[in-house]
Amino acid sequence: MLPHDGGEGAGGGATARPCGICALIERCRAGNLADFVAELPHSFVILGDAQFYRGYCVVLARRHINEVHLMPPDEARALFDETVAVGRAIARATRPLKLNYECLGNLEPHVHWHVFPRVETDTMRAAPVWMRPEAERKVALEDCDRRELIRTLGAELRRQIAAARPAIAG
């Protein structure tokens, strides 16, 4: 579902196992994640690894917490506002038929929102994205396309959220 690099987890949390999402956030902070899109006040936004759904992003809660309902309500709302802003950015960048928002966390219990654009030509468009075989959905974009998409999404997020910080150009 998310790229796992097996690197060291940087976050706390109840589990002994390193958190893959805390590790991703560390890579965003270090400028070491090619799919980093933007840093927002309550989240880090990355391009997801299933670019069959071109524009799919994951919104990672800035701090390690396992459940939305365990967040202070203002923090949960702020994170959701940022998730909606990501949805708006994806909609403007890819003109999808429909967006899907999902907060699952069964594999990585660190709150994160998946935002998927769905398109008319998807033969499985009525089904959850996870029903498509992994080998089909987990495709990477051509590098120029990926960079351009990240630029467009980041610019749109900065328009919406004054405090957003872009990916390091590269």
Shortest distance in whole angstroms from residue 11 CB to Zn ion: 4
* Nearer to Zn ion among residue 11 and residue 166 (C-beta): 11
Check if the beta carbon of residue 164 is closer than 8 Å to that of residue 86.
no
* Nearer to Zn ion among residue 110 and residue 114 (C-beta): 110
Shortest distance in whole angstroms from residue 25 CB to Zn ion: 7
Shortest distance in whole angstroms from residue 47 CB to Zn ion: 19
**Helices marked H in the chain — which ranges?**
20-29, 73-94, 134-137, 143-160
Distance (Å, rounded) from C-alpha 88 to C-alpha 95? 10
* Nearer to Zn ion among residue 62 and residue 151 (C-beta): 62
Residue 122 vs residues 26, 67, 77, 99: alpha-carbon distances, Å: 34, 31, 31, 13
C-beta atoms surrounding 16 within 10 Å: 6
* Nearer to Zn ion among residue 110 and residue 137 (C-beta): 110
Question: Residue 109: which of 28, 18, 32 has the closest Cα?
Answer: 18
* Nearer to Zn ion among residue 64 and residue 118 (C-beta): 64
Shortest distance in whole angstroms from residue 167 CB to Zn ion: 21
Shortest distance in whole angstroms from residue 96 CB to Zn ion: 29
Binding interface with Zn ion (CB under 5 A): 11, 19, 21-22, 64, 110
Check if the beta carbon of residue 1 is closer than 8 Å to that of residue 116.
no
Distance (Å, rounded) from C-alpha 95 to C-alpha 18? 37
